[in-house]
């Protein structure tokens, strides 16, 4: 009733204040979620779910080391709005001859994996690779039971978010093991300007 008795100008002022309040509530809710964004991208967890190696004897003295590996990426935080795209991995194989002697062999890039999916709070995306062959020299070394082969997988993927139009966030991980599951350690977060997006030059982050 009192609202009806006030002048039109005051009514419009009250309406303006009410709209301001509504917008502030909406913006605050968004800001609370946004403030979880940067901690979330540093807490995204990658794991090596399984690593199986099989030594195949093709002929006497000729061996093939078949490797089958699967990874998963999980968002353990409360932030919603992330998704995984463009998963890529390379690997190295470390031949351990003795506690004080080892050699590293570059395995190179693994086959492109189209795995992608949402990484909302609590979500996990699985990435499974088909069986591939390790370099032949690694297989030869693995044929000696006294030697041990350890694989180091270097993962990186694009973490899609609301910032996609202006920047790409690319976390990197290293996973090592000789068989079985293992956790991966985050080695860095790279931030680059998105193709065609506004912004200055690119940049990359170092290790955390």
Q: Where do contacts with another protein occur on this chain (CB under 8 A)? A: 1-2, 6-10, 12-13, 15-17, 19-20, 23-24, 26-27, 30-31, 33-35, 37-39, 41-42, 162-167, 188-191, 193, 198-200, 202-208
User: Cα 46 to chain center, whole Å?
Assistant: 6
CB of 67 to another protein, least distance (A): 31
CB of 76 to another protein, least distance (A): 15
Task: Choose between 43 and 123: whose C-beta lies nearer to another protein.
Answer: 43
DSSP 176: E
Task: Choose between 12 and 109: whose C-beta lies nearer to another protein.
Answer: 12
Task: Choose between 74 and 164: whose C-beta lies nearer to another protein.
Answer: 164
Rounded to an integer, what distance in angstroms lies between the CA atom of residue 86 and that of residue 18? 44
Task: Choose between 35 and 97: whose C-beta lies nearer to another protein.
Answer: 35
Quick count: other Cβ atoms within 10 Å of Cβ 11? Answer: 13
CB of 185 to another protein, least distance (A): 14
35 φψ region: left (φ > 0), alpha (ψ -120 to 50), beta (else): alpha
CB of 42 to another protein, least distance (A): 5
Rounded to an integer, what distance in angstroms lies between the CA atom of residue 193 and that of residue 38? 17
Rounded to an integer, what distance in angstroms lies between the CA atom of residue 72 and that of residue 40? 16
């Amino acid at each position: 009733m009192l609202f009806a008795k006030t002048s039109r100008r005051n009514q419009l002022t009250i309406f303006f204040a009410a709209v301001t309040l509504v917008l502030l509530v909406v913006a605050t809710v968004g800001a609370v979620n946004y403030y979880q964004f940067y901690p979330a991208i540093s807490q995204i967890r990658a794991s090596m779910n399984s690593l199986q190696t099989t030594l195949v004897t093709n002929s006497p003295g000729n061996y093939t080391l078949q490797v089958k590996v699967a990874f998963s990426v999980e968002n353990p935080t409360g932030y919603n709005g992330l998704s995984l795209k463009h998963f890529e991995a390379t690997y190295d194989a470390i031949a351990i001859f003795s506690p004080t002697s080892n050699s590293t062999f570059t395995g190179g890039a693994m086959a492109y994996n189209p795995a992608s999916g949402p990484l909302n709070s609590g979500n996990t995306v699985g990435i499974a690779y088909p069986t591939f062959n390790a370099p032949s020299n690694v297989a030869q070394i693995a044929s000696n039971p006294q030697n041990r082969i350890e694989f180091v997988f270097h993962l990186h993927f694009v973490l899609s978010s609301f910032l996609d139009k202006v920047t790409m966030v690319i976390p990197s991980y290293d996973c090592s093991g000789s068989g079985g599951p293992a956790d991966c350690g985050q080695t860095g977060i790279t931030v680059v300007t998105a193709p065609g997006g506004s912004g200055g030059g690119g940049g990359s982050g170092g290790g955390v």
